[in-house]
């Protein structure tokens, strides 16, 4: 399989992989080496989405992309919540390289208000949550519109998560299969 490294300079995105730092729900870095990879099909759709966002004066901040299967186990062992994490026995779209977690940045590089933080495991993170400010609802719908227009599917319980349709048709990816391992 072809997994492409997504880079700020070549893909018109900002990258701040949350699991490469302690600034995530585990409180510890999950990735030893932060690299942002996507399956070639997902990278193509991300490029299209970035182009659509740019036309409107926005660009993306990526929180996570390909997540090796080993990393999925770390997250699951910390918080085995099937509403917000895929059971690693069946695999996550992230562990197949066909999912991306992201938000929109304005022209000054400031993240738009989405009503909750990334990885806020609460019903307020659901698409369509009515108990967040109107501006945040608008921003979520803007992100949803851009990503849907570019051919992405979404997960209803996480405003930040987008994936290719039929993600299980892609194989799971182990860390040692990557050109630049993330876990070792």
**Mean pLDDT, the chain, whole residue set:** 97
Closest of 150, 152, 139, 160 to residue 61, by C-alpha = 160
Residue 158 has pLDDT above 90, yes or no: yes
Number of domains in the chain: 1
Phi, psi of 132 (to 5 degrees): -120, 160
Is 182 contained in some domain?
A: no
Q: pTM for the complete prediction?
A: 0.97
Quickly tell me which residue has 């036309």 as its tokens: 55
Q: Is 158 a catalytic residue?
A: yes
Residue-number span of the structural domain to which 104 is assigned = 3-177
> Does the residue 142 lie in any domain?
yes
68: Cβ contacts below 8 Å, ≥ 6 apart: 95, 173, 174, 175, 178, 181, 182, 183
Q: 5, 14, 51, 158: which is the annotated catalytic residue? A: 158
Whether 35 maps to a domain, the answer reads: yes
- Does residue 184 sit within a domain? no
* CA nearest to 167, candidates 63, 67, 70, 73: 67
Question: Which is it for strands 13-15 and 59-64: parallel, antiparallel or unpaired?
Answer: parallel
Look up the CATH number of the domain holding residue 39. Answer: 3.30.1380.10
Residue 183 domain-assigned (yes or no): no
In a domain, 17, yes or no: yes
pLDDT at 123: 97
Position 47 in a domain: yes
pLDDT at 1 over 80: no
Residue 9 pLDDT: 84
């Amino acid at each position: 399989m072809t997994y492409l490294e997504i880079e700020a300079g070549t893909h018109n995105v900002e990258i701040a992989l949350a699991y490469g730092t302690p600034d995530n729900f585990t409180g510890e870095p999950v990735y030893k080496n932060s690299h942002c990879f996507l399956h070639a099909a997902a990278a193509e759709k991300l490029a299209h989405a970035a182009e659509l966002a740019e036309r409107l004066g926005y660009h993306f901040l990526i929180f996570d992309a390909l997540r090796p299967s080993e990393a999925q186990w770390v997250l699951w062992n910390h918080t085995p919540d099937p509403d917000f994490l895929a059971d690693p026995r069946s695999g996550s779209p992230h562990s197949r390289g066909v999912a991306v977690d992201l938000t929109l940045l304005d022209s000054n590089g400031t993240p738009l208000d989405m009503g909750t933080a990334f990885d806020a495991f609460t019903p307020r993170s659901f698409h369509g949550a009515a108990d967040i400010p109107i501006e945040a609802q608008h921003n979520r719908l803007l992100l949803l519109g851009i990503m849907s227009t570019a051919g992405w599917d979404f997960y209803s319980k996480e405003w930040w998560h987008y994936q290719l349709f039929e993600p299980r048709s892609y194989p799971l990816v182990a860390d040692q299969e990557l050109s630049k391992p993330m876990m070792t």
